[in-house]
Amino acid sequence: MPRLRELQLGFAAALLDGDGDGFDRHIRAAGLSSARRLQVYRHNTVLSLTGALAAVYPVVRRLVGEEFFQYAAAQYIKRHPSRSGDLHEFGEHFPLFLQSFPPTAGLIYLPDVARLEWAYHQVFHAASQRTLDLAALAQVPAERQGELRFRLHPAARLLASAFPILRIWQVNQDDFGGDSTVDLAEGGVKLLIVRRENLDIEFETLADGEFSLLRALAGNGDFATACEQALATQPTLDLPACFHRHVLRGALVDFFLPNA
Amino acid sequence: MTAKPALSRLGPGSIPARAGIGLRAEHYDAFLETRPPVGWLEVHSENYFGAGGKPLHYLERIRTHYPLSLHGVGLSIGSTDPLDRRHLGKLKELIRRFEPTLVSEHLSWGSVGGRYFNDLLPLPYTEEALYHMVARVAQVQDRLGRPLLIENPSSYLQYVESTIPEWEFLTELAERTGCGVLLDVNNIYVSARNHGFDADAYLRAIPRHVVREIHLAGFTVNRFEDGEILIDSHNRQVWPAVWALYRRAVQRFGQIPTLIEWDTDLPELAVLVDEARRADAILEERHAQAA
């Protein structure tokens, strides 16, 4: 008699790899064929995983259509099987998968739209965090301010794209009214996706220098270097105003001074 | 994570012997606005595994008004892979934060070799599988520091290797680990029809003292030229034949907290509240007899 583990591995192969040959002999013959019985489980699994992808990527789904989305999801499930009992963790590699998926090669903006949706999904479920302690920040001696490190809000993500992905996202929302044409020639966008204290998720389009500042700080760069990079990217940037705005609006939530 | 006040001090504690309903995101606002008179709520544990945001925010607010049950669908307790410690850790944290009265999992597996199917797959009912499940349930109960309820699944195939009827397997599991049984009456009906066993014999085989919760839901019939199969689809009202079986279950097990489950093609909250009312009426009939 096969051990439990062998049965489970055999079931898994029959389910995911379509390698059902031979597994039939473990299924009691009664009425419906073994193939149909296995098909119920295969269908349930694909339905559940496709549903999870559709919940995270509604705009991608709308852009490619329901039928194609199901086809792409089925391929994705085979190539990147779920690794968690928590379905919210499923779908992380979908943007990269779309990038190398020949049938969608013509939709050059699609992987970045998917990145935006994954970032939104992460922001939706991320931890909350109190706003930065301004009084404590004011007490940092001027000569040490350049060494400061800041932390981006756990429910914030930075994303840059060569395509107008925010506009694409917006015109593909169910409640969007108005002209839904998007001109790819309008160019790229640099975005901050952030969950506010009322739990609403907002997109902010950032100027080049602003994006550079936040990205450097989010990457644990020190304040002085981050400012240099921001100004090198955009010499006209009003750095103090830009910094204060992101502290006040809660994108930067914590700071520390490395030990001298 | 910031410290939260103990919810038992803010909200209701034990699950009453009444009907409850499954809480789904689509009904968050309706719950807070209308506070329907249902006895308790159940959620899928994994839907609250995130670190923050709307799901936890809403559950916290709604929890202050209703007793809560956590129902897991992803632990893959019957798998021969090692238990996912991260998953268990998140479940434990959720229990600490929301103080549920009941915590349940399934008599099934959902992953092997690190791949997850996010479905409730059937176990072969063998001595080896029983031994394995006993060890796993004990391990989870130890880790969580509390008893689990284990639910009978709907199944669409039977293994040639199975030597123990499901009702015996479930009873043995409960007797050996001290876990309770979450008896899904719809699943009994679905599996009985799919495999040709007697649903009432199933009920009679389960000892009275192990059943702590009952589930009810709607199924779908898929017809093929070589026969039909019932699918536990959770997308419609409870069927009349399942209500009838439920009435007989309540006769046998007494007033047991009963959950109305509905997961896809979700209707207005009022439809679920009506289903809960029907279950309550059956529980009350039993109460009147006992009195």
Which pair of structure tokens corresponds to residue A188? 């790229």
pLDDT value for B289: 85
Which pair of structure tokens corresponds to residue A204? 């902010």
Q: Is residue B13 very low, low, confident or very high in pLDDT (cuts 50, 70, 90)?
A: low
Q: Nearest Cβ partner of A86 from B46, B115, B195?
A: B46
Phi, psi of B153 (to 5 degrees): -90, 165
Is B194 a member of any domain?
yes
pLDDT value for B97: 97
A227-248 tens-digit pLDDT: 999 999 999 999 999 999 999 9
Whether residue B7 is predicted with pLDDT greater than 60 in this model: the reply is no
Q: Is residue B6 very low, low, confident or very high in pLDDT (cuts 50, 70, 90)?
A: very low
* Distance from C-alpha of A213 to C-alpha of A239, rounded to nearest angstrom: 9
Q: Is residue B142 very low, low, confident or very high in pLDDT (cuts 50, 70, 90)?
A: very high
Bridge partners, B44 (sequence order): B71
Is B2 a member of any domain?
no
The alpha-carbon gap from B258 to the nearest alpha carbon of chain A, in Å, equals: 25
B61-107 tens-digit pLDDT: 999 999 999 999 999 999 999 999 999 999 999 999 999 999 999 99
User: What residues does CATH 3.90.930 cover in chain A?
Assistant: 126-260
pLDDT value for A166: 98
Q: What is the b/e burial string over A236-254, where b = at least 16 CB atoms within 10 angstroms of the residue's CB?
A: ebeeeebbeebbebbbbbb
The CA-based dihedral angle spanning residues A197, A203, A207, A211, taken in that order and rounded to the nearest 10 degrees: 70
Please tell me the class of the A126-260 domain.
alpha beta
pLDDT value for A19: 66
pLDDT value for A156: 98
Our count of domains for chain B comes to 1
pLDDT value for B10: 37
B291: contact with A, CB 8 A cutoff? no
Q: Is residue B286 very low, low, confident or very high in pLDDT (cuts 50, 70, 90)?
A: confident
A200: contact with B, CB 8 A cutoff? no
Do A234 and A207 touch, CB atoms closer than 8 A? yes
Whether residue B212 is predicted with pLDDT greater than 50 in this model: the reply is yes
Question: E strand or H helix at B35, and its extent?
Answer: none
Averaged pLDDT for residues B13-33: 93
Is B1 a member of any domain?
no
Which pair of structure tokens corresponds to residue A108? 């050059």
Bridge partners, B112 (sequence order): B115
Is A90 in Cβ contact with B118 (below 8 Å)?
yes
The alpha-carbon gap from A202 to the nearest alpha carbon of chain B, in Å, equals: 14
- CA B260 to chain centroid: 10
* Distance from C-alpha of B163 to C-alpha of B100, rounded to nearest angstrom: 36
Is B6 a member of any domain?
no
Q: Is residue B12 very low, low, confident or very high in pLDDT (cuts 50, 70, 90)?
A: low
Is B266 a member of any domain?
yes
Is B116 a member of any domain?
yes
Q: The whole model's pTM is what?
A: 0.94
Q: Is residue B9 very low, low, confident or very high in pLDDT (cuts 50, 70, 90)?
A: very low
We report the CATH number of the domain holding residue B170 as 3.20.20.150
Whether residue B3 is predicted with pLDDT greater than 60 in this model: the reply is no
Range of the domain at B125: 13-290
Whether residue B2 is predicted with pLDDT greater than 80 in this model: the reply is no
Mean pLDDT rounded to a whole number for chain B = 94
Low-confidence stretches of chain A (pLDDT < 70) are: 1, 19-21, 260
A125: contact with B, CB 8 A cutoff? yes
Is B5 a member of any domain?
no
